[in-house]
């Protein structure tokens, strides 16, 4: 169990034929708790998919009741028809949840309409996919999905995957309350969120403002510091739902730290499963004049293709690190910087230091440390190497 580990939630995952592989592709998480609250963070890309446009409105309407997620199609740049598909999907969920609750198949139209305004929608897959067949497969199968909802469900995490090779889940056990989470994402990982969909649930008793503050703090230091390939998605959404079912109101900082831990775990899982990667690279920037400077420096390296290709070749090419960070506006002297790979300082004070053959880059886990000597702030940016498999996976299929 993941998103149903906290009390007050049901979930389900089914197969409706959106993926050519025949794998599960439609998931639903429902908040049945006595004190529902929610917070959502969206992609900062201006090119936004229809489910993002819809969910942004839902997020304004008060606590979300449910989130439905499909893989196998992004429903992005699919025109007015695509937006209508999203609305019909949310209405179908609202209808079926109401019918299930009352035992009556007939549900008043205004109940459906109002209920739909509390249903978040997430989609992931190929941009431009969202035709009549896509709509029909989702909308006509919502009754099956709702009837599959269970408080001990284990099927939802698989149904949101695309090119992911493994399910990503995380759980935190608090004192009398818990957090559960599931995520998908294996490419287009960039700050401002990635091609990731994340649903996090908790039975803690917190209001939506408290959830929102904690979620923004957590994503800022986890998903926003993951930059696998520099490409920002149109469909990213991180949803946090609280049921209040535990009756326990955790201290604000305790909950925020726990949530940050869950998000950090998911971010590490996303990094470890990035498309085609052979190295998970943590770029630790120290001695920065500000956190912002540390992040700018870290991201300039994370997005440098020559650096990323060198790591693939197990080449600790510190010159490419310096060439990358020299493009930033961060405060530091390029000739005073130290650069270490996996603990071996290869560049010191603008000149070569230890011999590069002392550095072993064969382990998948790679640590690059950049000491700027410009202040006392630090940040770590996660990225991956640039590999033949990355090129293959992103050229041989459309996504």
Q: Give the pair of three-digit tokens for residue 371.
A: 């000491």
What six digits make up the tokens of 319? 């010159």
Q: What is d(CA 196, CA 20) in angstroms, rounded to the nearest whole number? A: 20
**Residue length of the chain:** 399
Q: How many CB atoms lie within 10 A of CB 236?
A: 28
**To which residue do tokens 């067949």 refer?**
133
**162 known ligand binder:** yes
Check if the beta carbon of residue 52 is closer than 8 Å to that of residue 43. yes
Task: Please list the active-site residues.
Answer: 195
Q: Which helix (H) or strand (E) holds 11?
A: strand 9-14
Kindly report the number of other CB atoms within 10 A of residue 96's CB atom.
22
The residue (of 174 and 287) whose beta carbon lies closer to a copy of itself is: 287
Q: How far is the CB of 26 from a copy of itself (least distance, A)?
A: 21
State yes or no: 184 annotated in a binding site.
yes
Q: Is 111 annotated as a binding residue?
A: no
Burial of 123-157, coded b for 16+ CB within 10 Å and e otherwise, reads bbbebebbeeebbebbbebbbebbebbeeebeebb
> Which residue, 131 or 207, has its beta carbon nearer to a copy of itself?
131
Cβ neighbors of 359 (< 8 A, separation 6 or more) are 316, 341, 342, 344, 346
**Shortest CA distance to 270 belongs to which of 174, 191, 210, 185?**
185
Rounded CA-CA distance 233/338 in Å is: 34
Residue 275 in marked binding region:
yes
Q: Kind and range of the H or E element at 91?
A: helix 79-102
d(CA 92, CA 295): 43
Rounded Cα distance, 344 and 342, in Å: 6
Listed in sequence order, the residues at least 6 apart from 80 whose beta carbon sits closer than 8 Å to its beta carbon are none
CA distance 11 to 31: 9
**Other CB atoms within 10 Å distance of the CB of residue 99:** 17
Q: Which residues bind a copy of itself (CB under 8 A)?
A: 44-48, 74, 76-79, 81-82, 126-128, 187-188, 192, 229-234, 303-306, 309-313, 315, 317-320, 322-328, 334-335, 347, 349-352, 386-388, 390-392, 394-396, 398-399
Pairwise CA distance, residues 293 & 297, whole Å: 6
394 is an annotated ligand-binding site residue:
yes
> What region does 349 belong to: left with phi over 0, alpha with psi -120 to 50, or beta?
left
* 376 in a labelled binding site: no
Binding residue positions for substrate: 162, 184, 195, 275, 394, 399
């Amino acid at each position: 169990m993941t998103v149903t580990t906290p009390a007050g939630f049901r979930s389900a995952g089914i197969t409706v034929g959106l993926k050519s592989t025949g794998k599960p592709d439609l998931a639903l998480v429902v908040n049945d708790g006595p004190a529902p609250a929610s917070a959502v963070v969206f992609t900062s890309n201006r090119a936004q998919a229809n489910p993002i446009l819809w969910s942004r409105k839902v997020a304004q309407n008060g606590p979300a009741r449910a989130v439905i997620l499909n893989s196998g199609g992004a429903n992005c740049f699919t025109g007015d028809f695509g937006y209508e598909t999203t609305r019909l999907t949310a209405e179908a969920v609202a209808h079926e949840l109401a019918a299930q609750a009352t035992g009556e198949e007939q549900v008043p139209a205004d109940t459906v309409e109002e209920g739909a305004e509390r249903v978040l929608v997430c989609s992931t897959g190929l941009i431009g996919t969202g035709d009549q067949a896509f709509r029909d497969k989702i909308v006509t199968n919502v009754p099956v999905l709702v009837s599959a909802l269970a408080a001990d469900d284990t099927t939802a995490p698989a149904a949101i995957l695309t090119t992911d090779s493994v399910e990503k889940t995380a759980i935190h056990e608090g004192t009398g309350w818990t957090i559960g989470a599931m995520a998908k994402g294996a490419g287009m990982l960039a700050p401002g969120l990635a091609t990731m969909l994340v649903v996090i649930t908790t039975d803690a008793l917190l209001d939506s403002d408290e959830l929102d503050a904690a979620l923004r703090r957590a994503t800022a230091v986890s998903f926003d510091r993951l930059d696998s390939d520099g490409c920002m998605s149109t469909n990213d959404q991180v949803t946090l739902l609280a049921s209040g079912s535990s009756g326990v109101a955790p201290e604000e900082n305790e909950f925020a730290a726990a949530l940050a831990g869950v998000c950090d775990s998911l971010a590490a899982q996303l990094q470890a499963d990035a498309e085609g990667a052979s190295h998970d690279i943590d770029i630790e920037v120290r001695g920065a004049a500000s956190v912002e400077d540390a992040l700018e420096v870290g991201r300039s390296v994370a997005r440098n293709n020559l650096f990323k290709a060198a790591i693939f070749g197990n080449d600790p090419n510190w010159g490419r690190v310096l060439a990358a960070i020299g493009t930033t506006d961060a405060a530091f002297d390029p000739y005073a910087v130290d650069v270490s790979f996996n603990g071996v300082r290869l560049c010191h004070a603008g000149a070569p230091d230890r011999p590069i053959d002392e550095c072993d880059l064969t382990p998948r886990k790679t640590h690059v440390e950049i000491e700027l000597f410009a202040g006392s702030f630090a940040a770590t940016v996660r990225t991956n190497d640039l590999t033949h498999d990355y090129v293959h996976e992103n050229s041989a299929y459309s996504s």
